[in-house]
Amino acid sequence: MLSFDEAREKIMHGIACLDTEKVPLSEASGRVLGAQLTAQSPLPPRNYSAMDGYALRLADLSGEGPWSLPVIGESRTGHPTPTLSPASVVRIFTGATLPAGADTVEMQENVTRRGDNASFEQRPKLGRHIRRAGEDLATGSVALEAGTRIGPFALSLLGALDLGELEVRRLPRVHILATGDELRDPGSPATPGSIPESNGLTIAALAKQAGAEVTRWPRSGDDRDATTEAVKSALKDCDLLVTIGGVSVGDHDHVRPALEAAGVNLEFWKVAIKPGKPLVLGNSGATRVLGLPGNPVSAMITFALFGLPLLRALQGCSRISPSLLRGTLTCSMTQKPGRHGFYAARLDGDQLTPLSNQSSGSTVNLAWADVLIQLPAEADGANAGDAVDYLRIAEL
């Protein structure tokens, strides 16, 4: 049986990033940059005004004030910019290009307009209210590193850099195969002994959240031959096959032998974690295979801990795992040493309260939890007031 760290190392070993492709900027949200991105022009691209006001040459306000200078034109966005003549000013608006010859902008609240003249009671500071070309990014400077997942604010930067398309990693293709005679679609008519199949929904949602293209394969019943054929079919044209259920040692657990019969090379199938001890990692050529246990919490936690980092690594993400944080227990908790434990808990400030129901078959605890408390395999528990590690569920 592998330790948690050994299993993670095996899963991440030898992962090669997927190929890159170019996509329009409008379709780049959520994608991962395939190469470092440098500014091909300065940002901002020109000097412009940060205020509505008047552009001037400060040297024209000589001697003692007040001063009055003629307004010879205006500069506004999307229109030609006049050149500033000596001893004059240009009316300017926020975002408009600074006229040639101007070195200062005074905000309109500090200027009195009298006909075609602008009066200044006080001398403004040199360079005031001007955004300089390249003050955000100089030409050739790094805008975003390879491995960055593009979010809304990164899109704003990329749009400002005038990029029409981006080189990003191809989306990983994930096929999900749930197994079990008892499974039926949620909302469908119930039959004796049946249960609605929710694990596939959850794993698909997690995979999509990590940037994958997901296909949920038709479910397989508890039959070895049928499961083998389903595995063979689901292995085609995907980067990761995720099976759910049937990986333990029961009489009707057929996934492991079905994977072997389908030609999958299995690397391990037990990990010292709780929940989620039965877990299969394998490969069929370039396709990775992850066999999850069927209990809901076990399936969700094992996929979050092992499947999501794998998907991020395939995309070349600079960050593949969430940050491990520290909090304080509000009550004691126990565990049997020997397995790395993950426990659903609520978070209030830095205070951690484990949920009373930690059953691996429950669909309630993770839905109500904020975090997963993490206890090392050698620990027999922790006391109220102890500092313990945790992971935010929203960041898994």
For residues 303 and 230, state if they share a domain: yes
Q: What is the mean pLDDT of residues 146-156?
A: 97
In a domain, 332, yes or no: yes
For residues 123 and 143, state if they share a domain: no
Q: Report pLDDT digits (tens) over 288-298.
A: 999 999 899 99
- pLDDT at residue number 181: 79
- pLDDT at residue number 267: 86
For residues 67 and 85, state if they share a domain: yes
- pLDDT at residue number 219: 82
Q: What's the CA gap between 112 and 121, in Å, rounded? A: 8
In a domain, 85, yes or no: yes
For residues 119 and 176, state if they share a domain: no
Cα 242 to Cα 168, 253, 311, 342, 353, distances in angstroms: 24, 15, 12, 21, 32
For residues 352 and 303, state if they share a domain: no
Cα 268 to Cα 3, 94, 277, 305, distances in angstroms: 11, 62, 11, 16
Which residues face 49 on adjacent strands?
130
In a domain, 320, yes or no: no
Q: Report pLDDT digits (tens) over 19-66.
A: 999 999 999 999 999 999 999 999 999 999 999 999 999 999 999 989
Question: In the numeric block, which tokens belong to residue 153?
Answer: 């604010």
In a domain, 178, yes or no: yes
The residues, ordered by sequence, that sit 6+ positions from 27 with a Cβ below 8 Å of its Cβ are none
For residues 164 and 105, state if they share a domain: no
Q: What's the CA gap between 375 and 326, in Å, rounded? A: 12
Tally of domains within the chain = 4
Instruction: Return the higher-pLDDT residue of 320 and 248.
Output: 320
Domain limit, last residue, from 267, 285, 314: 314
Checking if the pLDDT of 252 tops 60, the result is no
For residues 175 and 164, state if they share a domain: no
Checking if the pLDDT of 329 tops 80, the result is yes
- pLDDT at residue number 248: 63
For residues 305 and 179, state if they share a domain: yes
- pLDDT at residue number 269: 79
Q: Report pLDDT digits (tens) over 305-327.
A: 999 999 999 999 999 999 999 99
CB 98 within 8 A of CB 91: no
What's the CATH number where 116 sits? 2.170.190.11
In a domain, 287, yes or no: yes
Q: What's the CA gap between 14 and 39, in Å, rounded? A: 32
Checking if the pLDDT of 85 tops 70, the result is yes
CB 180 within 8 A of CB 227: no
For residues 142 and 111, state if they share a domain: no
- Bond before 322 cis per omega within 30 degrees: no
For residues 26 and 159, state if they share a domain: yes
Q: What is the pTM of this model?
A: 0.90
Q: What's the CA gap between 372 and 344, in Å, rounded? A: 5
Q: Report pLDDT digits (tens) over 114-148.
A: 999 999 999 999 999 999 999 999 999 999 999 99
**Residue 72: strand, helix, or coil:** strand
CA 185 to chain centre: 30
For residues 284 and 227, state if they share a domain: yes
- pLDDT at residue number 247: 74
Q: For residue 204, give its domain range.
A: 4-16+171-314
**To the nearest whole number, what is the mean pLDDT of the chain?**
94
Instruction: Return the higher-pLDDT residue of 198 and 20.
Output: 20
For residue 169, count other CB atoms closer than 10 A to its CB: 23
- pLDDT at residue number 180: 82
Q: What is the mean pLDDT of residues 193-213?
A: 94
Q: Pairing relation of β-strands 173-178 and 240-244? A: parallel
What's the CATH number where 310 sits? 3.40.980.10
Question: In the numeric block, which tokens belong to residue 318?
Answer: 């600079």
In a domain, 319, yes or no: no
- pLDDT at residue number 4: 95
What's the CATH number where 346 sits? 2.40.340.10
Q: What's the CA gap between 60 and 72, in Å, rounded? A: 14
CB 112 within 8 A of CB 67: no
Checking if the pLDDT of 278 tops 90, the result is no
For residues 339 and 247, state if they share a domain: no
Q: Which of 86-90, 189-193, 220-224, 239-243 has the lowest mean pLDDT?
A: 220-224
What's the CATH number where 145 sits? 3.90.105.10
Checking if the pLDDT of 299 tops 90, the result is yes
DSSP 183-234: EE-TTSPP-TT-EE--HHHHHHHHHHHTT-EEEEPPPB-S-HHHHHHHHHHH
